[in-house]
Every structure is written in structure tokens, then in C-alpha cells.
Structure 1
Amino acid sequence: MAKARIMDQPADYKKLGIDPKQVQTWEDGRRDNNAPGTSEVWYFDAILDDGSKAVFYFHPKSPYKLQEDGDHPDIGILITAPDGKTYGQQIIDYPAEDSHFGTEKCDVQVGPHSVVGDFKDYEIHIDPVAQVAADLHFHALVKPFRQGNKGIITMGDHDEYHYTDLSVVKNEVTGTLTYDGATHKVTGSGYHDHQWVNISPIVAWHHWLWGHLYTENYTVLIYDFVAAEQFDFTPVPFFGVMDNKTGEVVFQTDGHFTRQTELEQQPTIKKAFPKKSSYTFTNEDGSSVKFTTEWKQELEVRNMYWGASEQQRAAYDQMGIQPGYMRYFADGTLSFEKDGTSVNESGTMIYEYNYGGKEDPRAHV
């Protein structure tokens, strides 16, 4: 079987021009080209003090046009009001000539919408569209996080594919959201990541669980990747714990972990998704962290297989996949030992479960 691994060796750092000890501002600029098969996204979400939630993303190339040449920009904005109603639209397309993606920092414009930032502060502007709008300021409370000091996964016998994640996991959020005919002043906590890939997620991964947890004293990032069958269902975990006071990473997995799940059938997507996921990360140096998440609200359901046309389903069948996607609002818990004292903290989180493969007992769901 072909391999999947994190690029965390000295030769990897040299090849990519990355300083393993310091994240540089240009790393949040555009990283890939616009050739067929490439994809890039700048993603932001927020859990707000009034009970609302918001998700924003900016693509140079729409996920529905990955195999086309050139840029095909879009944005997505989804707002969940305190009463649970959702507003916005997942994909809103704009001409490439009306868009810009800078290379020296996060400097993104898609039509009249934009985000600019430098790992410390970000300004998000969503012009009125799909009956929503936003003007938010994200101020980083922790340092950027790269798993294995890299955040880049390579796949294939000769590292021909790459899949990435670079995160600013906790930010203070202030500003306004407009939905349901009114503008709301909001405060809360938010997350940002930047990803760039040259392989379709539905080809690369059987599934993943991705999310972030904020507790009183710590911030957690988890990205539980499980590779597709062609990559031997290889688990490639990202997991880090950051101290809210210093912003420093206090724990990062070295890849050794166990996972237990309690499954529940999702009636629309027709597959069993984890209702509760419990992890224990234990490194070779003896350090260990336990993390659990259990969802309590479905924020988004993408019925990508059963909701597709017969022609599209036939194409998925030929690929041997049944893609479906869930986004949740959940409870999370964190526990570990620090300086001889037990740490046990909890909080709420947003997480997603992107489930592209067919149900398979080998796939660690």
C-alpha cells in the first residue's frame, strides 16, 4: 500500500524552506497554484457569547471545481442564531478577476469580501450577501500550531501528494453579524486555519474528525485523519494542547494514541457517525492526555451522496465512496497531569466529521 506520513524530518524542512522552530507570516499567504487537483482554504469560525455561532471560508478554487484549471473563487458564510436557526449560504461564486490571494501573509479578497491578517490579528469583512453580513476582528490568544512543527502530510510512494493544516486555534472575537434583518454586536472566541492540498479530500481520506476546544486554561486542537483504503486506512493524528496564559504548546502527540467511539445512525446520510469520541494520546516520553467530545447539536448536514444526481452517485460508486459531511456543536473534556497535579477541564466546541468512504470495519470510525 502507498504511504501517508507527516513531513517532520530535517530533509523535509529543507525541501520546503520551513523553519521548524518558528512560523513565519508568509506561511498564511497563498501556498499552492491553481492547477487541476489543487485546493486551498482560509477558514474561520466563532462561538459567541450571545449563543450564536458563525463559520466563514474563502477558496481560490471552489471544491466543486477542483479538477478545472485556473482559479474559481468562492466564499461560504453560515450563521447559527441563538435559537438554532441558520442563515447564509455554503458556496457563493465570484469571478477570478474580482479576487486576490496574496503570498506574503493572509491577504484574501473574493469579490467584495475579504480577510487580512498576520497570525496576530485578522479583519474579516463579508459584504451583504445571502441576507447576511459580517465585520469581525480576530485577535490571536495562542501561537500558530503546526503538527510535528510542519503540519504537512505527504501521501503516495514518492510523496507526490500533500495535505496540510496550519492553525491559530484560539482568538478573541469582536464585531458585528447581520442576519434575520438585524445587525448584532458580538463577542466571543474564534478559530482560524489555512489548508492547501493537491489531492481531493474524498480521494485522500476515508474520514476525519476535526475540532477545537476552549477550556478555562487550555486550548485544544484535534484533527483525527484516517487515510483512504489506497493509503491503507493509515491514521494520521494532529493533536495539540496550548496554555491560554502563555500561548505556548504544552503537549503535542507523537502519533501514539487510542480511540473509542459510540456510534449513532445519521438518517439523512445513512451512515453511523460517532456520537461520542474518546482519545488517549500517550507519547514515548511518558506524557499523556485524555480528550473526549460528544455532540449535542447538528449545525450542518451535507448529504453529498444520497442528495446527488443519479449520474453523480454513479461516479461516486465507481470511486468506491459515499461522501457525507456533518458539523456539530459539542461538549469537550480534557485531562492530564501537570507538575504532579491533575488537570480536568471542559468546555464547548465546534467540530466537523467529514465521512467520505463507505462504512468499513477497518477504517477506525
Structure 2
Amino acid sequence: MRQAPEDFAALGLSPDTIAVSEDAMRSKHPVDRQGAWEWWYVDCELEDGNSIAMVYKNADNIYPIGLAPQVEISFAMKDGTSSFDYVPFRAGQLRQSREKCDLHIGKAYFTGDLETYRIHFEGRNDDDVLIVIDLEMESTCEPWRPATGQFVGDPSQSVDGDPPSFNWFCALPGARVKAKYRIGDQSYESEGTGYHDHNWGNVPMQAVVEQWYWGHGNVGPYTVVAYPIQQRRDLGGTWSNVFMLARDGKVIVDDISKVTFEMIGEQTVPDSDLKLPQTLKFTYEDGDTRYVSNWEAYQPTQLVSSDSHTPMGDLDKFGRYEMHYTRFVCRMSVEKFEKDVPVEKHEVESAIWEYMQFGNWTG
């Protein structure tokens, strides 16, 4: 991850403050060339027992072949059922801004200013079921970017004068949410907690990343975001142990050089042959103060495994990949120690984390 002073200057970023424009369109070009992509992600856990996750994309991140606006919607319902829908739009239905987060795809929109957001979707899935979602989000935690937030691929390559890269920025590590939504003839209204981040790149994601674990949750006075991410193995396989801890909405821990990430034990994900750790453990040490966060006892809510070829027929450029994606609800804890003496501990049963692996990709 780029984090030297000259990296901030080159990317037009401040190491100390975050601008509203950082959640605007960040791609160098309006994603009109092969390889570039960008998305805005949101999820919410609602008091009615249901959860919603949505991704507003201006291009596909795995097979980016130019403008291809789309919205992905996932529901995990309190009765244990889940669904995933992908709704494509025409390129001419996309409008974006470089001033702030103000994305419009057809009648859908995703707008906000790091403090408040309004998100709307309406459309029909492949089964012709009408889906309507309205979210109002109010920040409970300051926005956060780990250093520059840019993860670089092969430094010997150049894309329009820039290194191949994948970028990540967390606009809302935590938020209060008001949700109204409809699935077919069933309407819902609830409140809860939410999260929003923003991703973009100038090459397919798998050109930079081998795998990642990512999670977030609210526990006691703390907001936690964890994102250990591994560079492609043929580029060195370096892990960046991205980890943020905020208390009462203010970031107090985010120096990745002080974070240790451990994968403990092993278990097989139900209905698959995918083996993942039983526990993810993050330890942050700074002098006499130590924070430990454990993520465990998880239940999968979405599982995607695929072995596929690019549909574009350009195997020399985009190659082949095996992908595993799994999302979980899990128990997450935060414990604080002073001089090895435990002084505080909080635990929650409803944190979210996911595992993404691009596997055997060639390109």
C-alpha cells in the first residue's frame, strides 16, 4: 500500500484530512476504457432482523470492458433465506460527479457528503419481482482512509502513466439507518446500523489482489473495520493488515505497522469444500496499550464459487480465474489491555465479514 509522503502528494491527498470529493468519481477517465472500474458499496443490519447490501457499479470489477452500469442487491432475511440480484443498465443511464458522491443509474441514485446519504433503488430482477429500496444514513463515525488507500500491482507496468492499482476508501465506517424497502408485494420499514465504502481501479481487481478478509461491526463504544489484504503471490504476496478502531466515532487506532493478523484453526464452509480459519484475530500494540479483536463462530449468508473464463475471448489479456466469495455473520469482540491487564471487553453477535479469493488467475 502506498503511504510515503510523496505518494499522498502524487494522488492529491492529505495524510490528515479527508475531502468530500474523495467519495466522488475517482477514476482517471469516466471508465470508458477496458480495465477501469468503480463502485460504491453499502450494507445495513436492521432491527427487523433483515439485512441489505448493495453495490452501485459503473463497470464490472472482474471483467471491466468499458461502461456497464449495474446494481447488485443482496438480502439476508431473519427467516434464514437470502437472495442476490444483479440489475444491469445502459451506459447512457449513468451520471456521476467529481465534486461529491452523486451517482445516478436510471432511477437509482447514491448521494451523500460523508455526513448524510440518501440511497434509492427500484427495478425488477430476473424473475420480474419488483424491488424498491430507500435508505437514509447518518454518520456515527468519522470517514477513514488507510494511508492513501491505494494498493499497487506490478510496478513495471503502466496504465495511462499510472501504476496498476486498486483503491479503497471508507466513507461511513458506521451510520444510523432508516430503511423502507419492498420485495414484490411485501413492504418493510425499519431502522438499524449501516456502513459504506468506495472502491475503484484501473485494471481488473485480480491483477492486484490475491485474496482478502474484510469485516466491520459496532461493539460497545467501538466501531471496527478490518481489511487484511494480500497482494498477488507472483508480485510478492505481501499482506497489508488494514485495521481501524474508533471510539465514540473518533478513530483511535489505524497504524497498520502496529497490527498483527492471525488466522487460527480451520473449518470447512458449509455446502462447499472451502476451508477457512475458525478465528480471525487482530492485535494492535502501542506501548503499554494493547487491543485484541476476535472474529469467530460465523454463519455463511452468501457463498459464490466459480471457475470461469472471460466472456470477451481475449484470454491473453484477461486470462482465467477461480473465484471464491463467502459472506458471514459472526461474533466479534474487542478487548483492551493496559500493561497486560484487561481493562475493557465488549462483544457482539452480528458483525459482518467476508472472504474473497481470486485463486488461479492468469493474465
TM-score of the superposition, structure 2-length normalised?
Answer: 0.87
Give the match for residue 361 of structure 1: none
Note the 1:236-315 alignment, pairs <5 A: 236-243=240-247, 245=248, 247-255=249-257, 256-266=259-269, 269-283=272-286, 285=287, 287-305=289-307, 308=308
CA-based RMSD: 2.6
Give the match for residue 80 of structure 2: 84
Note the 1:1-365 alignment, pairs <5 A: 6-32=1-27, 33=29, 34=31, 35-63=33-61, 65-66=63-64, 68=65, 70-89=66-85, 91-130=86-125, 131=129, 132-148=131-147, 150-157=148-155, 160-167=163-170, 168-179=172-183, 181-243=185-247, 245=248, 247-255=249-257, 256-266=259-269, 269-283=272-286, 285=287, 287-305=289-307, 308=308, 321-337=321-337, 342-347=343-348, 348-357=350-359
Rounded to whole Å, the distance in 1 between the matches of 2:62 and 2:246 is 35
State the one-letter code of the partner of 2:74: L
Shift of 1:223: 0.4
CA contact (8 A) 1:170 1:219 kept: yes
**1:312-347 deviation per Cα after TM superposition (whole angstroms, max 9, x unaligned):** 9xx69x957521110111111111236987221111
Worse overlay, 106-115 or 128-137: 128-137
Rounded to whole Å, the distance in 2 between the matches of 1:183 and 1:231 is 49
Shift of 1:22: 0.9
Shift of 1:27: 0.6
Structure 1 residue matching 2:306: 3-state secondary structure: coil
Q: Percent identity between the aligned chains? A: 21
Rounded to whole Å, the distance in 2 between the matches of 1:237 and 1:325 is 19
Rounded to whole Å, the distance in 1 between the matches of 2:41 and 2:4 is 27
Worse overlay, 153-162 or 74-83: 153-162
State the one-letter code of the partner of 1:185: E
Compared CA separation, residues 251 and 161, structure 1 to 2 (3 A): same
Give the match for residue 159 of structure 2: none
Shift of 1:153: 2.0
Compared CA separation, residues 198 and 166, structure 1 to 2 (3 A): same
Compared CA separation, residues 83 and 39, structure 1 to 2 (3 A): same
State the one-letter code of the partner of 1:153: F
Displaced runs of 4+ in structure 1, greater than 6 A? 309-312, 338-341
Structure 1 residue matching 2:18: 3-state secondary structure: coil
Shift of 1:155: 3.0
**1:48-91 deviation per Cα after TM superposition (whole angstroms, max 9, x unaligned):** 1111010011001023541x2x31110011111211222450x2
Rounded to whole Å, the distance in 1 between the matches of 2:310 and 2:199 is 31
Rounded to whole Å, the distance in 1 between the matches of 2:303 and 2:61 is 16
Rounded to whole Å, the distance in 2 between the matches of 1:343 and 1:112 is 47
Rounded to whole Å, the distance in 1 between the matches of 2:297 and 2:105 is 32
Structure 2 residue matching 1:14: 3-state secondary structure: helix
Shift of 1:238: 1.1
Structure 2 residue matching 1:11: 3-state secondary structure: helix
